[in-house]
């Protein structure tokens, strides 16, 4: 397996372009199933997760053409050749489960493998299934597959989620676009990804109101048409690169960055002493006055502090002045990067869903192991600020969510390279 070697100590200066949002793009790709006309997506990130979902959609009969080095994708689901999403693909990518709603809405039937386990928690699909049942689908679980059918079509209904779920909200949204009547989704996810999906569906002819609020209203239509849609900027990649100059020093402009996508996170950085300036091209982030200050963080659904930026924030807090408390409320098992940061000299005490981080003067480079996507990049950030060399192993996780990471960091002065595995 490949590893990434980082030599710390360099300040960062320059520009980093922000790629299209991975999580958004995946859901936009599944939405293409809803129409027999082509859907064109631009600003598509070139990532392994995108390739995995491409493979799944092609197995269902969706024709996919990729242009401009994969950054433009044309998806044509003129005919659905299969309604079965196989385990061998779904197990690699949880977002694959979101083909359920579009297949059921358009074809009246779907067989989708259960996603299986996850390194950062169980993340059961119960809310997805209950939403489909509320819309009139019959659900059976057999041999690890969800067998869903709605021979007479889906019918609008009131879906009340007991807790906020981005994936379940988006699955319900796509299914409801072709349901008969009106669907109301209450306690809906408010994430920018969900809002962008609603914009794309509306461009395809769906009637959706309330995206970005806790109540989404969808009036079903008979059919959807094709459209061209630009994927929004990836707020998690943007937040990650906002931490880079904060932990290393220097000033970096994030081209295409938008503060409104990460407002709660940006406020925490500013409390820590990081300067964030909005420009006509994005965001300029700098740390000029010594160490950052410790701040406490509690992850929450949007518009709160994103769980996908918790590991990166912990890396920054390892070098902060004072003691910080990070509380993880979204996923269990999401502090697996903490033991690896401790190997580099961090002082971290984890109890259940809370981590207490006492800032230290310096981190020391060491061999460390990535456990998941965001943990991977937190170790690279720590390595950028550490003394000496840090080798991050098992970085295949990184390729799921960060496009050209090493190249982007090298361009602003980092000493970082990928070492091919044997």
Q: What is the DSSP string of 321-365?
A: BSEEEEE--S-SS--TTHHHHHHTT-EEEEETTEEEEE--S--B-
Q: In whole angstroms, what separates CA 129 from the centre of its chain? A: 22
Are the C-beta atoms of residues 172 and 178 closer than 8 Å to each other?
no
Give the N- to C-terminal CA distance of the chain in Å, as an integer: 7
Position 152 scores a pLDDT of 92
Are the C-beta atoms of residues 146 and 129 closer than 8 Å to each other?
yes
CATH 2.60.120.10, domain 3-19+233-419, yes or no = no
- Return d(Cα 91, Cα 377) in angstroms, integer: 23
334 among annotated binding-site residues: no
Same fold, 3-19+233-419 and 22-230: yes
CATH 3.65.10.10, domain 22-230, yes or no = yes
Task: Using alpha carbons, list the distances in angstroms from residue 163 to 127, 185, 233, 254.
Answer: 9, 12, 26, 33
- In this structure, the number of other CB atoms found within 10 A of the CB of residue 40 comes to 18
- In this structure, the number of other CB atoms found within 10 A of the CB of residue 158 comes to 10
Position 237 scores a pLDDT of 97
Tell me whether residue 73 is exposed, middle or buried, using C-beta atoms within 10 angstroms of its C-beta: 0 to 12, 13 to 18, 19 or more: buried
Per-residue pLDDT of the chain (422 residues; tens, 9 = 90+): 889 999 999 999 999 999 999 999 999 999 999 999 999 999 999 999 999 999 999 999 999 999 998 899 999 999 999 999 999 999 999 899 999 999 999 999 999 999 864 443 445 799 999 999 999 999 999 999 999 999 999 999 999 999 999 999 999 999 999 999 999 999 999 999 999 999 999 999 999 999 999 999 999 999 999 999 999 999 999 999 999 999 999 999 999 999 999 999 999 999 999 999 999 999 999 997 789 999 999 999 999 999 999 999 999 999 999 999 999 998 777 899 999 999 999 999 999 999 999 999 999 999 999 888 888 999 999 999 999 999 999 988 888 889 999 999 999 999 999 998 76
Are the C-beta atoms of residues 84 and 111 closer than 8 Å to each other?
yes
Q: Where are the domains of the chain?
A: 3-19+233-419, 22-230
330 among annotated binding-site residues: yes
Position 315 scores a pLDDT of 98
Position 86 scores a pLDDT of 96
Tokens of 394: 């098992």
Q: Quick check: is 318 catalytic?
A: no
92 among annotated binding-site residues: no
Are the C-beta atoms of residues 226 and 38 closer than 8 Å to each other?
yes
- Return d(Cα 306, Cα 324) in angstroms, integer: 17
94 among annotated binding-site residues: yes
Active-site residue among 25, 118, 200, 227?
Answer: 118
- Return d(Cα 320, Cα 223) in angstroms, integer: 54
Position 344 scores a pLDDT of 98
Phi, psi of 75 (to 5 degrees): -110, 125
Torsion, Cα 93 97 102 105, to 10 degrees, reads: 170
284 among annotated binding-site residues: no
Are the C-beta atoms of residues 404 and 16 closer than 8 Å to each other?
no
């Amino acid at each position: 397996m490949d590893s990434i070697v980082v030599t710390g100590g360099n300040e960062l200066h320059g520009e980093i372009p922000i790629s299209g949002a991975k999580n958004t793009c995946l859901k936009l790709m599944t939405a293409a199933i809803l129409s027999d006309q082509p859907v064109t997506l631009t600003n598509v990130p070139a990532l392994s997760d995108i390739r995995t979902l491409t493979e799944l959609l092609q197995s269902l009969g969706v024709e996919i053409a990729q242009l401009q080095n994969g950054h433009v994708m044309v998806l044509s689901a003129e005919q659905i050749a299969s309604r079965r999403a196989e385990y061998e693909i779904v197990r690699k990518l949880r977002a694959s489960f979101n083909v359920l709603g579009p297949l059921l809405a358009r074809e009246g039937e779907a067989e989708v493998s259960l996603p299986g386990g996850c390194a950062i928690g169980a993340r059961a699909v119960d809310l997805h299934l209950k939403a489909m049942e509320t819309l009139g689908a019959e659900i059976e679980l057999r041999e690890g597959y969800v067998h869903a059918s709605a021979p007479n079509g889906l019918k609008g209904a009131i879906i009340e989620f007991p807790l906020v779920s981005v994936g379940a909200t988006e699955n319900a949204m796509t299914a409801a676009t072709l349901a008969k009547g009106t669907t109301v989704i209450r306690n809906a996810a408010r994430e920018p990804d969900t809002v962008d999906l609603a914009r794309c569906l509306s461009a395809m002819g769906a009637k959706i109101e309330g995206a970005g609020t806790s109540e989404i209203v969808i009036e079903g239509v008979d059919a959807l048409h094709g459209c061209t849609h630009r994927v929004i900027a990836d707020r998690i990649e943007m937040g990650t690169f906002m931490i880079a100059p904060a932990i290393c020093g220097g000033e970096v402009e994030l081209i295409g960055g938008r503060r409104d996508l990460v407002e709660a996170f940006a406020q925490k950085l500013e409390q820590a002493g990081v300067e964030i300036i909005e420009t006509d091209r994005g965001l300029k982030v700098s740390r000029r006055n010594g160490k950052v200050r410790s701040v406490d963080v509690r992850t929450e659904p949007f518009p709160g502090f994103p769980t996908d930026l918790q590991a990166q924030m912990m890396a920054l807090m390892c070098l902060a002045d004072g003691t910080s408390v990070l509380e993880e409320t979204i996923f269990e098992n999401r502090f697996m990067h903490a033991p690896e940061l401790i190997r580099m000299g961090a002082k971290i005490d984890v109890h259940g869903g809370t981590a207490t981080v006492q800032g230290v003067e310096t981190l020391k480079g060491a061999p460390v192991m990535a456990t998941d996507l965001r943990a991977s990049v937190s170790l690279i950030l720590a390595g950028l600020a550490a003394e000496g060399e840090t080798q991050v192993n098992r970085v295949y996780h990184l390729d799921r969510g960060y496009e050209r990471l090493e190249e982007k960091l090298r361009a602003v002065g980092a000493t970082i390279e990928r070492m091919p595995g044997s």
